[in-house]
Chains A and B, each alone.
Chain A
């Protein structure tokens, strides 16, 4: 098991290295090379000498591999570089924004699971019933609504119409705003949750249906196992595998979704920062945030893999055997 974890960690390092390589190489393909952001920082009338001096501040005058090496070494010291636009280190920007986005994304994810997993199972159990069709229909529509539109519609109905919920998330910069003003989080979290439920309930339904036709479920029924026990001990546990894998893979999407929600609800977080960074050509910020999400994802995938071993003893045996 330990050997397996070490091997997976090494793989993760390789993956992260590729993310760095990719996000480092991409800016070189801009119309005017890596110096392009200089014009959005210094203004369009900056002289050639200004641009070069600006670039030297950020080490842009070094060759690609030297920059890459310096970046990785700095990264190992917890230094994500310096923002082109905001006059502070990327690390400090990330540190302010991480708790806010993680809070938003995690609470939505938990709610999604609590709703979507039982929903998908019930739908699979009562396949082709009115309940199943209604659930599928709603999921289909929710899946087709662009997240920003759903957010606007929810604001229209629940902020301006029925309940007068706040239409904006708390804008106070302190990370604990989320605890002092929970009502303001209802709409952003609800939007993200609805979107998540649409995808995961359908996936869960499919996973349970796949398991329900397996031989071991038939065997369980044949040996006189009660319906409830068959469902929880045999079907549920096996259907959980794909969901766990999916959750690990869903992390980048979660941050992408948070970007839209943060924008609509005026809630400064990682997505908001990444979006504005991209608009302003603030590449160190975008790369830093991307890398952070990649780290989360890699860890999430690893956690999902280990959880899979806990849920499914066959996988555990397979790994320790190798």
Chain B
């Protein structure tokens, strides 16, 4: 997943001086923890998508699941036990993970696309357009994000695609601000001004100067957006507003498991909690490592 993020940059590296790009990639790969995070995410993703095929378990039919003993501790048949509906937990972690990771990733992408477009247009055009767009953003920023998310999710249906859109279309305020600041900065730099003098169109400057030069921020923010989207999805799951049964996601599973902690059914929450927290830590760490790699000032330090 994150490997995609890195390879996505590859085309732009053609436009950048190669040594600079190499240098940055080198900084990233020298960061052992960052590499470990990438590996961990790869393993979890592969597990989620392949395990159900290697070891098929019933994860959708409630009736069949009831035939399994419920709340069973880990044993040779159910490696991580069964949950309160009789579903095999190891299989369910993979099944829920498919949804959580896919939804989080796609919502993060929606966030970054909308946020980048909004921020770039606002920051680049400046003037009245910028003022109006920023006041609108201020209004969005003063609405509690969770209230909005809950209201939207209850007003509309809770299918996977709608959840992606809801989380994605409401998560971009912060992104837009960051990208706007970038766009304003780059627009006023000498090389952009030089282009203007030479009669370059606005679109040309955005495409050739503003976008390539803010790509580092865009990639970094995109990484954080994915982590945030996964977290918000889990919060919705906790509030009972995640995917509807028989579909499930990690948040819904964590909520069901957490309620049973007092009963001593540790296998229903702790293994998944560990996987989940590490996934978010890994994504955030990759984001941090990317930022360090892109940060030119740090090169001098």
Which A residues are closer than 8 A to B by beta carbons? 11, 14-16, 18-19, 22-23, 26-27, 29-31, 36, 140-141, 143-149, 152-153, 155-156, 160, 213, 249, 251-253, 255-257, 259-260, 263, 271, 274-275, 278-279, 281, 286, 289-290, 293-294, 297-298, 301
Contacts and interface: CB of A to CB of B under 8 A. Distances in A.
B280 A144 contact: yes
B219 to A, nearest CB: 18
Interface in B267-291: 269, 273, 276-281, 284-285
Interface in B236-295: 238-239, 251, 254-255, 258, 261-262, 269, 273, 276-281, 284-285
Interface string B11-31: 000000000000000000000
B66 interface: no
What does DSSP make chain A's interface, helix, strand, loop or mixed? Answer: helix
Interface in B139-169: 139-148, 150-152, 154-156
A74 to B, nearest CB: 20
Contact of A14 (B135, B148, B154, B258): B135
Contacts of B139: 15-16, 18-19, 22, 294
Given A11-B138, A18-B135, 17 more contacts: A15-B138, A23-B143, A31-B156, A146-B276, A153-B273, A155-B261, A156-B261, A160-B262, A252-B145, A255-B147, A259-B144, A259-B150, A260-B235, A275-B150, A281-B154, A293-B147, A298-B142
Interface of B: 135-136, 138-148, 150-152, 154-156, 227, 231, 234-235, 238-239, 251, 254-255, 258, 261-262, 269, 273, 276-281, 284-285, 297, 301
Nearest to B285: A140
Contacts of B148: 290
Nearest to A251: B142
B258 A149 contact: yes
A278 B147 contact: yes
Contacts of B280: 143-144
A289 B235 CA distance: 20
Given A144-B231, A274-B150, A22 B143 contact: yes
Contact of A260 (B142, B145, B238, B285): B238
Contacts of B301: 213
B277 A252 contact: no
A11 B135 contact: yes
Contact of A259 (B147, B154, B284): B147
A251 B284 CA distance: 23
Contacts of B143: 19, 22-23, 252, 290, 293-294
Contacts of B144: 252-253, 255-256, 259, 274, 290, 293
A279 B135 contact: no
Contact of B155 (A27, A140, A147): A27
A259 B236 CA distance: 12
Contact of B273 (A149, A213, A253): A149
A148 B253 CA distance: 12
A274 B144 CA distance: 11
Contact of B239 (A23, A30, A252, A275): A275
A255 B141 CA distance: 13
A147 B234 CA distance: 10
Contact of B277 (A29, A145, A278): A145
A294 B140 CA distance: 9
Given A15-B135, A252-B144, A141 B234 contact: no
Nearest to B174: A249
